[in-house]
Amino acid sequence: MKNKTLEEFSILAASKEPVPGGGGVIANVGALAASLGEMVTNLTIGKKKYMEYTFELAEIKKELEILRINLLDCINKDAEAFEPLAKAYSLPKDTPGYDQLMEDCLRKAADSPYLILKYAMRIIEIDERLSQIGSKISVSDAATSVMLAHGVLYGAYVNILVNTRLMKDREYADNYTSEAIRMVDEYSIKALNIFDDICKRLTDND
């Protein structure tokens, strides 16, 4: 799935096909957010004004590359997690072991967007630093990156919720969901603050 062209991916996402669904799309968006962060590092490394940050930027670049690759892998992981869940939905509810099978499938399906959520959080943290040490000509890319990651937070949360709401183990489900929304609340505020700070700097004429 991750090797589809952008056109092929968007056509599939628009179709009745079950994958890529919301999980695959937010993984793709997250990968693009990481890509823009990498762009900032590439536009900054080697510039005399930012030489003191060369090592730090190189380390950030490596981490963003890993995040980008991992998020692209999540496109397939999300599709792979949905397949057994879809099969479980098609089974009669009186099938022996049905409840445990469904519970296991729902947990696996929730794990993929949870991982995407964690990756998006890290991108936001990195974007905050890039907004401080990245080249001024690329600060808008950091701002775009952070807002893409901001959207991923919410897409990941709702894809977690759609699975946890059906779990029989309510303690597990409620704890899982509560932790996810806690992270979304914290990092959505962080992302918006980073974006607002960048915009203020871009509109400051002094």
Instruction: Output the pLDDT for position 205.
Output: 60
Counting Cα atoms < 13 Å in the Cβ hemisphere of 50 gives 23
Supply the range of the domain harboring residue 40.
Answer: 6-201
Is 94 inside a domain boundary? yes
In a domain, 154, yes or no: yes
| Structural domain total, the chain | 1
In whole angstroms, give the CA distance from residue 117 to residue 156.
Answer: 6
Listed as ranges, residues in the chain with pLDDT below 50 are none
Q: Is residue 206 part of a domain?
A: no
Q: Give pLDDT, residue 20.
A: 86
CA-CA-CA-CA torsion sign (25, 185, 120, 134) = positive
Rounded to whole angstroms, the Cα distance separating 37 from 34 reads: 5
Comparing CA positions, the residue from 107, 111, 122, 194 lying closest to residue 152 is: 122
In-domain check, residue 128: yes
pLDDT at 190: 98
159 in any annotated domain: yes
pTM comes to 0.93
* Domain membership flag for residue 1: no
Q: What's the confidence (pLDDT) of residue 82?
A: 86
Looking at residue 108, which CATH number applies to its domain?
1.20.120.680
User: What is the pLDDT at residue 16?
Assistant: 87
Is there a domain that residue 172 lies in? yes
